[in-house]
Structure 1
């Protein structure tokens, strides 16, 4: 293969597989910028190998390379997050309209939403990799074992440990919860905050509800998780009194699921993702106001 043909082949692979590979890396890393870096590193490596012949199974090869690159990047993440001010939440991928790009289409088709992405942060890098490949992308254990250079039995055990840590519904069980239910939660949440009476949130919240707020040390946010309906409602009453909830409320999709975006004049917007408890209440509220995680809003 000459240099020109090799370059064209790498370009074709990039166009064809970039959305899939970026989505895998994003699920594992929780950061779109890091996911894009991982995929870029993979294709730089592929371009160096392109002169040695055609890749026999390009999709499997690229997924394996991306997975292992993300695993290597995750090894450095705990050190960075030890000094992170307050809870670290994954970067939300926010869509404001129906003009989906290939990556957004993948996120909507996948079965793991933003809440599960948060929970994945409690897993070790290998647990996260196995869980994402199995639950979100449907790879069987033989394929995952090949990608991670482990046995099928080991991958099954890793998946079991990850599932136990997450301790929530499996992806198949989540699929039985229709989008209209999530839409009702989002609508009620929006009405409570936009009405100027955030204390009315109490009836929406489960007894063990928790609020996690990520300002990244750049904007003011709660440093510790806020637990319980009364304390969560009091938090919103407090910030509403300071004008922090003034602005334009928009229903959006956050990493493929319904959510809210508060657009504030001359201030960083705030993204809200909601996790239902499956019993008619809200189990968790994820509030992201770190401006570094809100740079990819697609208007």
Structure 2
């Protein structure tokens, strides 16, 4: 690969990573897919293949590798224990992370990526390329290897399925600074056990979703509604205080949130908050250690002690028994 190709390829990495992550919901898999695409370009050049458009070549490679990956990963998703959430993209509060860097905060949010799980691999690719990245139908058709007319049909079908899973909004999304300030107040109220203050900041139909993947304790039946969620957070943070868990504000998939560390500074959980109209509508917590390793050393608090028997709680544990 020539030096100019290397420079161009490096410049496309944010786009390529965003496509791969949007397809897979996995940081590690997305990085592997991008690397495989880059290696494919090198091999093509060495074999004497003319590559007139480096961006088109790499985008096509990433898209098709993503489709193939989803096909092989679907069985794993179908047997996943409990709620599935994507691996979190984390940036320190006030800094730009991968989602913001690509100006894709909404499209890389946990809520949006969960909606995309309802789509087939090709539907997901077509929808992402057209809706999120703004590719025209001729480009989408070339990237996924389908006809333009077929891609239009696939997109329309995917659009209907995604829209069917989108809750009606009750107000405008908060600006980043306002949302971050509300998140700080929310976590402070939880740490102080102030249930009344928490309820003021929670939407009446707020939901809490935890992803333990069968390896860390998570709620089988998450609490819903402002009172139940407020009580849960108050109990959770009371336990955190006793065992020395600390919170660091962060941007998680473009949303305000936090990374929780145990007393040994190991990562315990990552949480994002969906904030609309001045209230928290959803809290999503990833405690599955496999989804946190890309962020650093992972805590063993809350892990199932016998790895041969994954966590499948029949009844939801109390706030004193869970860290999700």
The alpha-carbon distance between structure 1 residues 182 and 132, as it changes in their structure 2 partners (threshold 3 A), is farther
Rounded to whole Å, the distance in 2 between the matches of 1:227 and 1:291 is 25
Rounded to whole Å, the distance in 2 between the matches of 1:205 and 1:193 is 12
Q: Aligned to 1:226, what secondary structure does the other structure show? A: coil
Question: Which residue of the partner structure matches residue 138 of structure 1?
Answer: 134
Q: Aligned to 2:83, what secondary structure does the other structure show? A: coil
* Unpaired stretches in structure 2, ≥5 consecutive residues: 297-324
Question: Which residue of the partner structure matches residue 3 of structure 1?
Answer: none
Contact 1:213 1:222 in 2 (8 A): yes
Question: Does 2:30 align with 1:23?
Answer: no
Question: Which residue of the partner structure matches residue 47 of structure 1?
Answer: 42
Structure 1 vs Structure 2 CA RMSD? 3.0
Rounded to whole Å, the distance in 1 between the matches of 2:125 and 2:200 is 37
Question: Does 2:234 align with 1:272?
Answer: no
Q: Aligned to 2:293, what secondary structure does the other structure show? A: coil
Pick the aligned partner of 2:213 from 213, 216, 223: 216
Q: Aligned to 1:286, what secondary structure does the other structure show? A: strand
Q: Deviation of residue 97 (structure 1)?
A: 5.9
* Unpaired stretches in structure 1, ≥5 consecutive residues: 1-5
Offset from partner CA, 1:213-261 (integer Å, 9 cap, x none): 0122332111344333333234334433433785322221112332222
Contact 2:141 2:148 in 1 (8 A): yes
TM-score calculated relative to the size of structure 2: 0.76
Question: Does 2:242 align with 1:247?
Answer: no
Question: Does 2:280 align with 1:282?
Answer: yes
Rounded to whole Å, the distance in 2 between the matches of 1:152 and 1:181 is 42
Rounded to whole Å, the distance in 2 between the matches of 1:155 and 1:227 is 38
Pick the aligned partner of 2:66 from 56, 65, 70: 70
Aligned length: 288
Q: Deviation of residue 67 (structure 1)?
A: 0.5
The alpha-carbon distance between structure 1 residues 64 and 151, as it changes in their structure 2 partners (threshold 3 A), is same
Question: Which residue of the partner structure matches residue 294 of structure 2?
Answer: 296
The structure carrying a bigger helix percent of its residues is 1
The alpha-carbon distance between structure 1 residues 199 and 246, as it changes in their structure 2 partners (threshold 3 A), is farther
Q: Deviation of residue 201 (structure 1)?
A: 2.8
TM-score calculated relative to the size of structure 1: 0.82
